[in-house]
Structure 1
C-alpha cells in the first residue's frame, strides 16, 4: 500500500470517528449530566495523551502569560464549550440535523476569519460560505420544535461549532508554536480543570447513571479524541493540506449514516439537501484552494 493511500485511509477513519461523536453525544446526554460527561471525557483522555507525550519525547513549551490566557480561552471554547453544547443540543434535535451543522465547521471558521481577522476572502470562499449557509438554512426551515427538528437544539449545535471555530482562530494568535500532541494534552488538561467544578455542582453521585452513557463517554474519550488525533496527524503527514481538507466532508456523512444505523433515525429530504450543500462547499473550497496554490507556484516558477 502506498504512503498516500495509507494517508487517505487514516484521514477517512479519523473523520468517521469525528462523525460518530454526534451519536455518542446523543447517548451520553440521555444518561449523564452535561458537565459530568465533559469532565469524565477529559479525565479519561488526559492520561492517554500524557503517555503519548512520554513515549514520543514531546515536551510542553515555555509560554508567556499572554499565550496561557489564549490557551485557557481556547480550552473554554473548543474543549468545554463545544462538548457541553453538543451534548445539550443533541437532546433536542436529530443527529442528521446536527451532522449538517457540524459539517459546516470549515466554512464557519473561514467566515469568522473574514469578520474577526479581516482576512480578504476569495470568490470561491464566499461561494462556499453561501453554500454551507444554504445547507444549514435548509434544516433550520424545518425546525419547528419537537425531538427531531428543534430550532433551539440546532442553535445549540451551531453555538458549539462557533466555539470550535473560535478555538481554531485563537490558535492562530499564539506567539509560540506548539506541537499538535502537546497542544491536545494542554487542551485536555485545561478542559478537565474548567469542567470539574461545574461537574461537582451537578452532584452526579446522587443521580442514577445509565451505564450506556458511561460507555459512550469512554468511547468518546478514547476513540474520537485520542485515536482520532493519532489517525488525523498520521494521515495529514502523508498527503497535502488540500487533500486532507477534503476528508473533513466525511464527518457529516458518517454522522448521518450512524444516526440511521445506530439510532434508527429517518433522513428527510431537507437534511439530504443540507448535507449536499455542505459537501459541495467543503469540496469546492478545497479543490479551488488547491488550484489557486498551484497557479501561484506556476507564477513563482
Structure 2
C-alpha cells in the first residue's frame, strides 16, 4: 500500500468516526442532560490528550492576550457549545436528520467567513451555498401528521454547526500557529471548564443513568475525539489539503447509514435528497477552493 493510499484510509476512518458521533450523541442524549454529557466527554478525552502531549514532546503554547482570548472563544464555541447544542438537538430530532445537517459544515464555515470578514463570494461558492440550502430545505419539509419537535431539534443541531464554523474562523485569526495536538488539548480543557458548572447544576447523578448512555459518551470521548484526531492528522500528513477536504463528505453519509443500522431509524426521501444536495455542495466547494 502506497503512502498516499494509506493517507486515504486514515482520512476515511477518521470521517467514519466523526459520523458515528451522531449516533453516540443520540444514545447519550436520551439519558443524560446536554452539559453533563459534554463535561463527561472532555473529562475523559483531556487526560488522553495530556499523555499524547507529553509522549510526543509537543510544546505547550504560551499565547499573548489576544490569542489567548481567541482560544477561549474557540473553546466555548467549538467544543462546549458544539457538543451541548448537538446533544440538546438530538433529544428532539433523529440522528439521520442531524447527520445531514452536520454535513453542511464546510459550506456554513465559508458563509460565516464571508459574512464576518467581508469576503466577496465567487459564483462557484454561491452555487455551493444554494446546494446546501436546498438540502436543508428538503430536510425540513415535514410530512403531514409527523411530530413538530424535530424542527426545534434541527435548529439546535444547526446551531452546533454554526459554533463549529466559528471555531474554524477563529482558528484562522490566531497570530501564532498552535500545533494541532496542543490545540486539541487546550480545547478539551476549556470545554470541560465551561461545561462543568452547568453540568453540576443539572445534577444528573440524582437519577439513575442507563449504562448505554455512559458507554456512548466514553466511545465519543476516546474513539472519535482522540482516535479521530490521530487518524485525521496522520492522513493529512500524506494527502493534499483539497483531497483531504473531500473526505469530510463521508461523515454525513456514515451518520445516515449508522442511524439506520444501529438505531433502526427510517431513512426516507427527505434524508436521501438532503444528503445528495449536501454532498454535491461539498464537492463543488472543494472544486472552487482548488481553482
In the TM superposition, what is the alpha-carbon distance from 1:68 to its structure 2 partner?
A: 1.3
Question: Where does residue 222 of structure 1 map in the other structure?
Answer: 222
1:19 matched to 2:19? The reply is yes
In the TM superposition, what is the alpha-carbon distance from 1:143 to its structure 2 partner?
A: 7.2
Question: Where does residue 45 of structure 2 map in the other structure?
Answer: 45
**Equivalent residue pairs, number:** 291
Where in structure 2 are there 5+ consecutive unaligned residues?
none
**Residue 190 and residue 255 in structure 1: after superposition, are their counterparts in 2 closer, same or farther (change >3 A)?**
same
Q: Over aligned residue pairs, what C-alpha RMSD do you find?
A: 1.4
In the TM superposition, what is the alpha-carbon distance from 1:289 to its structure 2 partner?
A: 2.6
Secondary structure of the structure 1 residue equivalent to 2:60: coil
Provide Cα deviations, 1:41-99, integer angstroms capped at 9, x if missing partner. 00000010001111110011121111111111111111011001101111111111111
Q: In the alignment, is the contact (CA less than 8 A) between 1:142 and 1:149 conserved in 2?
A: no
In the TM superposition, what is the alpha-carbon distance from 1:22 to its structure 2 partner?
A: 0.6
Whole-Å separation in 1 of the counterparts to 2:258 and 2:53: 32
Question: Where does residue 114 of structure 2 map in the other structure?
Answer: 114
Whole-Å separation in 1 of the counterparts to 2:168 and 2:121: 17
Displaced runs of 4 or more, over 3 A: 143-149
**Of 139-148 and 233-242, the range deviating more from structure 2:** 139-148
Secondary structure of the structure 1 residue equivalent to 2:249: helix
Question: Where does residue 7 of structure 2 map in the other structure?
Answer: 7
- Residues 265-284 of structure 1 mapped to structure 2, 5 A cutoff: 265-284=265-284
Question: Where does residue 157 of structure 2 map in the other structure?
Answer: 157
1:85 matched to 2:85? The reply is yes
Question: Where does residue 172 of structure 1 map in the other structure?
Answer: 172
Secondary structure of the structure 2 residue equivalent to 1:150: helix
- Residues 118-133 of structure 1 mapped to structure 2, 5 A cutoff: 118-133=118-133
Secondary structure of the structure 2 residue equivalent to 1:266: coil
Q: In the alignment, is the contact (CA less than 8 A) between 1:96 and 1:259 conserved in 2?
A: yes
Q: In the alignment, is the contact (CA less than 8 A) between 1:49 and 1:226 conserved in 2?
A: yes
TM-score w.r.t. the length of structure 1 is: 0.94
Provide Cα deviations, 1:226-254, integer angstroms capped at 9, x if missing partner. 00000000001101100000000000000
- Residues 254-273 of structure 1 mapped to structure 2, 5 A cutoff: 254-273=254-273
In the TM superposition, what is the alpha-carbon distance from 1:28 to its structure 2 partner?
A: 0.3
Whole-Å separation in 2 of the counterparts to 1:7 and 1:125: 27
Q: In the alignment, is the contact (CA less than 8 A) between 1:139 and 1:271 conserved in 2?
A: yes
Question: Where does residue 296 of structure 1 map in the other structure?
Answer: none
Whole-Å separation in 1 of the counterparts to 2:40 and 2:112: 30
In the TM superposition, what is the alpha-carbon distance from 1:287 to its structure 2 partner?
A: 2.6
Provide Cα deviations, 1:143-175, integer angstroms capped at 9, x if missing partner. 778569711011000000000000111111111
**Of 219-228 and 53-62, the range deviating more from structure 2:** 53-62
Whole-Å separation in 1 of the counterparts to 2:150 and 2:160: 15
Secondary structure of the structure 2 residue equivalent to 1:228: helix
